Amino acid sequence: MNPRPWRVRDRLLGGDRPLLMGILNITPDSFFDGGKYSDVNAALRRCEEMLSEGADILDVGGESTRPGASSVSEQDERNRVLPVIAAITKRFDCPVSIDTMKSGVARAALDVGASIINDVSSMTVDPLMLEVPQSFGAGVVLNHMRGAPRTMQQDPVYQNVVGEVRDFLFERVRILASLGLSKDRIAVDPGIGFGKRLEDNYALIEHLEELDSIGCPVLLGHSRKSFIGKTPGLENSDRLHPSVAVAVYAALKGASILRVHDIRATAEALRMIAAIRGGSFVSENP
């Protein structure tokens, strides 16, 4: 598997290296950085920091999707994310992703400058979401999730997790393609931690290249997630170094996009791999 380019509005991103998607949670309850960036100025400072470290894309979310999280109203989500996205797109020339399951939030975010919809439900929670991206030329992330954030970790069971996730994502891509969205606008995410057992997360990362048969860029969102802390010997880890290790492993397997909290550490690790391999794993202008 080699990285695939991702078409986002009028830009063609990546293709020669993994893109780094920096995470910005405008939430009080996200598992890692909840409550840190609810102020617009604090959010802009964090964005500037991530971009200076090598982020290619900024992913803004206003509703926590950690296991057990409760949903928030559309109005609350709009109030959290729209001022931040508007400020980011006014100040920085970079693609911005809206992490939401609500079509109203997605459409409003695209109206103020976002160019990607990252829907952890693969546009199943709100079927109207399927109608949103085409008119904006937006990029899309389709994530595999079994259940809902509040219940997804309650005894998930798979017979063949890699095959089942691949087939689900293939079908969701087929539906979007039938509505006019080309495959190069759709990134697929196996949904690490979204209704998965520990061994399921391992299998999906180990066999990440099997998702390439869908014909879309592959995104991995693994950063600092709880499966790392459940790994034997890493129970007391702050999850930084293991997160970077997974990012490097995914990059070597050809992942197109890595969604991470720790841009600098990930970019430096990829730059080292690039030097050894004689290729380009990160932006030349971090």
pLDDT of residue 277: 86
Average pLDDT over residues 146-173: 89
Distance CA 141, CA 187 (A): 5
pLDDT tens for each residue of 189-212: 999 999 999 999 999 999 999 999
Domain with residue 172: its CATH number is 3.20.20.20
Does residue 242 lie in a domain region? yes
pLDDT tens for each residue of 260-276: 999 999 999 999 999 99
Could you give the number of structural domains in the chain? Answer: 1
pLDDT of residue 92: 97
pLDDT of residue 279: 66
Does residue 244 lie in a domain region? yes
Average pLDDT over residues 98-125: 97
CB atoms within 10 A of CB 98: 28
Residue 181 contacts by C-beta under 8 Å, 6 or more apart in sequence? Answer: 133, 134, 140
Does residue 286 lie in a domain region? no
SS3 19: strand
Which residues pair with residue 186 across a beta bridge? 140
Q: Which two structure tokens, joined as six digits, stand for 171? A: 């079908």
pLDDT of residue 281: 63
Average pLDDT over residues 93-100: 97
pLDDT of residue 23: 96
Distance CA 192, CA 211 (A): 14
SS3 219: strand
pLDDT of residue 111: 98
pLDDT of residue 283: 57
Q: Distances in Å between the alpha carbon of 58 and those of 24, 199, 256?
A: 7, 30, 15
Does residue 103 lie in a domain region? yes
The answer to which of 41-55, 162-176, 240-254, 270-284 has the lowest mean pLDDT is: 270-284
More confident residue, 279 or 133: 133
- Residues annotated as catalytic (active site), given as ranges: 225, 259
Ordered DSSP codes for 112-148:
TT--EEEETTTT-S-GGGGGSHHHHT-EEEEE--SS-
Q: Say whether pLDDT at 151 is over 90.
A: no
pLDDT of residue 286: 44
| pLDDT class of 247 with cuts at 50, 70, 90 | very high
SS3 185: helix
Ordered DSSP codes for 231-253:
STT-TT--SHHHHHHHHHHHHHT
Distance CA 55, CA 259 (A): 10
Residue corresponding to tokens 């598997």: 1
Does residue 282 lie in a domain region? no
Average pLDDT over residues 237-266: 97
Q: Does residue 21 contact residue 94 with C-beta atoms inside 8 Å?
A: no
Does residue 1 lie in a domain region? no
Length of the chain (residues): 286
Q: Which amino acid is at 59?
A: D
Q: Say whether pLDDT at 185 is over 50.
A: yes
Rounded to 5, what percent of the chain is helix, strand, coil? 40, 15, 45
Does residue 283 lie in a domain region? no
pLDDT tens for each residue of 51-89: 999 999 999 999 988 777 678 899 999 999 999 999 999
Average pLDDT over residues 25-41: 69
- Domain range for 47 is 6-277
Q: Which amino acid is at 262?
A: D
What's the predicted TM-score (pTM) here?
Answer: 0.92
Q: Say whether pLDDT at 284 is over 80.
A: no
Helix axes 161-178, 198-206, angle to 10 degrees: 70
For 60, what's the count of Cα atoms within 13 Å in the CB-facing half-sphere? 35
